[in-house]
Chains A and B, each alone.
Chain A
Amino acid sequence: MSGPTSSALPVVSLRKITKIFGQVRANSAINLDIYPGRIKALLGENGAGKSTLMSILAGHYLPDSGEILIHGQARAFGSTKDAIKAGIGMVYQHFMLVDAMTVAENVFLGQEPSFFLSRRKLEERVSELATTYGLDLNPRAQVGDLSMGERQRVEIIKLLQRQSQVLIFDEPTAVLTPPEAEQLFVALRTMAAQGKAIVYISHKLGEVMALADEVAILRKGQIIDEIAVQDVHSQADLAQRMVGREVLLQVERTPLEPRQNVLRMQGVCSGMLRDATLRVRKGEIVAVVGVAGNGQKELVETICGLRTPDQGDISILGKTWKEFFHNPPWQGGLSYVPEDRMGLATCSHMDLVDNFLLTTRQGYCAGIWLRREQARAKAQELIELFHVDPPDVRCLARELSGGNLQKMVLAREFHRCPRLIVAEQPTQGLDVSAIEDVWATLLAAREEAGIVLVTGDLSEALALADRIVVMFAGRIVAAFAADDQEQVQRIGMMMAGMDTADAPTDPALLPA
């Protein structure tokens, strides 16, 4: 393990931290030093133990064994409050904010300077911190009205207000638009320059390379490598260290001859969706790209029958929208792989058999009875085929990690032999090897189906799609073949609503 070159002493040293949940060794004997003024990335697949380790440091869990040294002194954190007092703060993936309160109130929660609160003083202090660290924020705004990027800034200011010396970020860019992510990186560098220690949990290799000073790689609860970023040769190098085998982020894609239409939309309006015309044929993947909130959600909901079109014609597998959704076939029809795996695709407190039956129940009925035993056997077979871990249908959905849950959803949906697939952010939050699996599955499915792939990740669109459509302000502003390099270069501008060639290019929006 190569130590960092800095001569400074670590702010935090983790020594032989072990945490066991039931049968799972989430962390086993982990040693880690965190230095002031440096950005340390924690890289690892889903379930590698990154979040557990940092939750221990932030006072959420007590380790089963091992100790935490702050400036060389052993400390035990019984609660997040203890950790906050010791100068350790965490920005969670799910923001811990109160929507109904203002920014200033959220920032001072639990840290109120006096019994009676002067709003003006609180707001001034927030503005002051925001300016110091280059975080643009209105202290009087209601948190419920803010964008994800702004909410994250509230979380950061919360930590800065508490004089946190160690700031932990758990997958901070997962919810951000590219420009917001850029802004965050600038702020992180500013904080590090002012002597804060930053810990950055991620599985996005590019970000880690661009941002971090050093990388600690976790696999199966252990730190298997710790290196300075300048010693990393390439993303592929990092990926290989992370999963222990070569990962090809480039997938093999042989173009298929597109066949009959599976989806036709003509001038469809619904909510913010305006005049959408789209055609998807069997044998092709059509990627819908755009900045989130530009009508993709409405498009997907309309195609999947969750939202009634106000205007226009839709035909799905040769039937009108109304005919199709009057009695949609459970097999050979439409499969929807939603972005919200835990909310829309599965019920968190039901086991995998029940979750399997959510969309396939019509195939496992005998009169009013469910043939549960048959369904159980099929579900078991499928989750083994798709390498869902743990391979046990008695698991509850919430016990699965994000990647495994997604595999389970895909296994279920592909069992239905769909002819039209709508996949929404299918690899969001997944680790490299899971992404590879999902991509391969989608490409294989293309043989028998037309696929609408809604994604915020341009590299995903470019890797998988045969055609790309760009959405802006509820309209489909461009549609072109994925190998049309000239158009591909202009996607960034199209996503920003600038369709003229002489408009300035925003580099953050272009594919890396």
Chain B
Amino acid sequence: MTPEILLSLLAATVQAGTPILYATLGEILTEKGGVINLGVEGMMLVGALAAFLTALYTQSPVLAFAVGGLAGAAMAALHGVVCLWFLGSQIVSGLALTIFGTGLADFFGTAYNGIQAPGFNKFSLTVLSDLPVLGPIFFRQDALVYVSYVLPVSLWLFLRYTRWGLAIRTVGESPAAARAAGLRVQFWRWAALLGGGVLIGMGGAYLSLAYTHLWTNGLTAGRGWIAVSLVIFAFWRPGRAMLGAYLFGGVMAFQLRLQAMGTVLPSSILLMLPYTLTIIALSMSSWRGNQSKAPAALGRPLEPCE
């Protein structure tokens, strides 16, 4: 493999990893607040479609990206109504959200299958793009990728070094302690859920606005589920999430290249690769009880007290 091919493969890795990164960070934020959201796949699809339609009709990719985030938040709000308001099961509600989101996106999106919309194009980021090796991989991408570089560290700083981050972590670890400290537990769970929803919706929006520039049904192709499992693989740490997202991006980009080059391997085997990796990564990271790194009150409904 020539260096040029390797560099372009790595650049494609970053691009393929970016939507997963957005969604994983969104799910980390949600889960840090104590809510499991298995609706990521459906939320990403709805976000992708909302962004695509906005871009198509307004010609404004930036607005479209924002609308994608809002669509994610709207979907998260549905989850919130079921789980935070009515204290329903987070697992069931999340699964329902995925089914609902997939159906919704298919229903409104089928008419637009294969239609193109304006989106984000790649541009070189000033002098950084001239760096050897790193330049071509990281700094000849689109604006949303550049945004995604600062997201993990921002989320980390936010969770660790701000008052709001502390509040969110507390309601995820111990709602009782949060309540005793005078924090509004419901409020912070909602905040984490909706904030996470915005990021997840943006992950979907990235797919239609920057990755493909067009709409096809089932655009996410399981990336939402990969994000859910990456949260566990990342031990709920934004930095590791970035690593994980690029690992999966790499496998996705690689199997596309392999298919394009024409190998003897059947394409279905290649298509399986990212999902197989998901299972392997999850088993390995859960190997020695790393589940205990989960927020202690994750998935537990709030006691209706006070």
Q: Which of A39-97 contact B (CB under 8 A)?
A: 60, 79-81, 84, 90, 92, 94-97
Roughly how many angstroms separate A115 CA and B166 CA in the complex, as a whole number? 10
A-B contact pairs, 19 of them (CB 8 A): A80-B182, A95-B177, A96-B179, A98-B169, A98-B170, A99-B174, A100-B296, A101-B166, A109-B167, A109-B177, A110-B181, A110-B183, A111-B181, A112-B163, A112-B166, A115-B162, A116-B161, A117-B163, A117-B166
- A105 part of interface (Cβ distance < 8 Å): yes
- A7 part of interface (Cβ distance < 8 Å): no
Contact of B169 among A97, A101, A115 (CB under 8 A): A101
Roughly how many angstroms separate A90 CA and B180 CA in the complex, as a whole number? 9
Binary contact readout A104-128 vs B (1 if CB under 8 angstroms, 0 otherwise) = 0110111110111101000000000
Binary contact readout B239-283 vs A (1 if CB under 8 angstroms, 0 otherwise) = 000000000000000000000000000000000000000000000
Q: B: which residues have CB within 8 A of A?
A: 161-164, 166-167, 169-170, 173-174, 176-183, 295-296, 306
Q: Is the CB–CB distance between B296 and A109 below 8 Å?
A: no
Q: How many residues of A contact B (CB 8 A)?
A: 28
Would you give the shortest CB distance from B188 to chain A, in whole angstroms?
11
Q: Is the CB–CB distance between B166 and A79 below 8 Å?
A: no
Contact residues in B for A105 (Cβ distance below 8 Å): 166
Roughly how many angstroms separate A158 CA and B296 CA in the complex, as a whole number? 21
Would you give the shortest CB distance from B184 to chain A, in whole angstroms?
8
Q: Is the CB–CB distance between B182 and A99 below 8 Å?
A: no
Contact residues in B for A112 (Cβ distance below 8 Å): 163, 166
Q: Is the CB–CB distance between B173 and A100 below 8 Å?
A: yes
Contact residues in A for B181 (Cβ distance below 8 Å): 80, 96, 109-111, 158
Contact residues in A for B306 (Cβ distance below 8 Å): 60, 79
Q: Is the CB–CB distance between B170 and A109 below 8 Å?
A: yes
Q: A100-B173, A100-B296 are in contact. List 11 more A-B contacts (CB 8 A).
A: A60-B306, A80-B181, A84-B182, A96-B177, A96-B181, A98-B174, A105-B166, A109-B183, A112-B163, A114-B163, A116-B162
Q: Is the CB–CB distance between A96 and B161 below 8 Å?
A: no
Report, nearest first, the 7 A-B pairs whose CB atoms are least far apart. Answer: A81-B182, A110-B181, A96-B180, A112-B163, A96-B177, A109-B181, A98-B173
Contact residues in A for B166 (Cβ distance below 8 Å): 101, 105, 108-109, 112, 117
Which of chain B's residues has its CB closest to A79's CB? B182
Contact residues in B for A84 (Cβ distance below 8 Å): 182
Roughly how many angstroms separate A92 CA and B170 CA in the complex, as a whole number? 18
Roughly how many angstroms separate A117 CA and B296 CA in the complex, as a whole number? 23
Contact residues in B for A117 (Cβ distance below 8 Å): 161-163, 166
